[in-house]
Homo-oligomer: A and B are copies of this chain.
Amino acid sequence: MAAAASPDDQVVTAAIAVIGNEILSGSVQDENIAYIARGLNEIGIQLREVRVVPDIHQEIADAVNVLRRRWDYVFTTGGIGPTHDDITAEAMGVAFDRKVDYHPEAYARLAAFYEQRGQEFTEGRKRMTLAPEGAELVNNDAMIAPGLKIENVFVLAGVPRIAHAMFEAAKPYLKRGSIVQSRGITTHLMEGDMAERLSAIQDKYPASDIGSYPFYNTPRGNGVKLIVRATDKVLIEEIGDEIRTMIGSLSGEVIEDDRSW
């Protein structure tokens, strides 16, 4: 099922390219995808694809080139620090076929920052000011080093606290679409007992997206969370009520009913 859509919807889409050997090796658990996904939702942008790629220039460039042509916005996370494995700015140069050099404004700011702190402005720290020609700086509250905007691509840090701040700083640049709202209805019924009835409800409401997420052996036992997503709250209310009736008709009980608005 595609993301819920009505004919009048303003559909704005995005993708994330996670740049990170540390995610692919399992050393680090990603904490940015869900944060960015939820933040995009809140402003009516639909995350449609994520790719996790290794720290290799051409792999990063290839992924970003596919994603930036396919979706309205791309966010990269990771690889913008001072060390040898921080190659995202250079990889963006490959992707956009542009020269990469120290960005004058970022360079001047970081030079002043380290001078004021009495720390050396090392070659590594200078690397944090690398940017493809024509990139805009996206300044943020968490770090003196900026994120980058190159056309529809936003280059963010990998460290979650900084990635999140850089994403917030990128938001003002984004056009907003119709917001997809959600309602989550949880029951102890089993998926297999209601699958046909649920399918009939989904068929009746093509402008919504109904997801079914079972859980097992949790503190509340076994059950299913049904999530209805659509841009039209009235429609979600109607579908949700129909799901509640369906659950009741199977002698089930609704144990939670959460609305996102």
Contact = CB atoms under 8 A, between A and B. Distances in A.
26 contacts: A1-B21, A1-B85, A24-B37, A24-B49, A25-B38, A25-B41, A25-B47, A26-B34, A26-B41, A26-B47, A29-B34, A30-B30, A49-B54, A82-B195, A83-B195, A83-B198, A83-B212, A84-B195, A85-B202, A85-B210, A86-B212, A122-B195, A124-B196, A127-B195, A159-B215, A161-B216
A50 interface: yes
A37 B30 contact: no
Interface string A18-60: 1001111111111001111110110000111111111110010
A44 B26 CA distance: 13
B22 A227 contact: yes
Nearest to A229: B25
A68 interface: no
Contact of A2 (B2, B50, B54): B54
Contacts of A35: 26
Contacts of A41: 25-26
A125 interface: yes
Report the copy number of this chain in the oligomer. 2
Instruction: Give the interface size bracket for A toward B.
Output: 35 or more
Contact of A123 (B2, B36, B196, B210): B196
Majority-rule SS of A interface residues = mixed
Nearest to A56: B2
Contacts of A180: 25
A116 interface: no
Interface in A206-259: 209-217, 227, 229
Interface string A64-81: 000000000000000001
Rank and list the top 3 A-B pairs by shortest CB-CB distance, nearest first: A124-B195, A26-B37, A26-B38
A191 interface: yes
A191 B85 contact: no
